[in-house]
Amino acid sequence: MTSNELLRFDVIEQHIGYERDVRLIDGSFKFEALSPDRTRVTLTTRYEPLLTPRLIWRWGERIAVHTLHAHVLEGMRRGAESSSDRAPAPVAALP
């Protein structure tokens, strides 16, 4: 992967426990190579707020979205660490 790769996605279905509060629309993962074995991943999402009045609910939405982002990024970190601890899978020779 080269530096500054971007993976965009659309949310077509959501089951995160906040369906009455926010509707996730889309987002992206930005991958920035920091060194041969380190990559910074930035997750960005766009959502439609469903609760009013906005002044009261905005802080809760931000906390919820940041919690969701932290959960996803932590899962990616754990997956990357566990896959790097394993030996590479053997490549089958083609006949």
- What are the tens digits of pLDDT across the range 20-67? 888 999 999 999 999 888 899 999 999 999 999 999 999 988 898 899
Torsion angle of C-alpha atoms 68, 72, 78, 81, degrees rounded to 10: -140
Structure tokens at 63: 């906390």
Tally Cβ neighbours within 10 Å of residue 67.
12
- pTM here? 0.75
Beta 38-49 vs 5-10: how paired, if at all? unpaired
Whose CA is closest to 44, among 61, 69, 19? 69
How many CB atoms are closer than 10 A to CB 47? 19
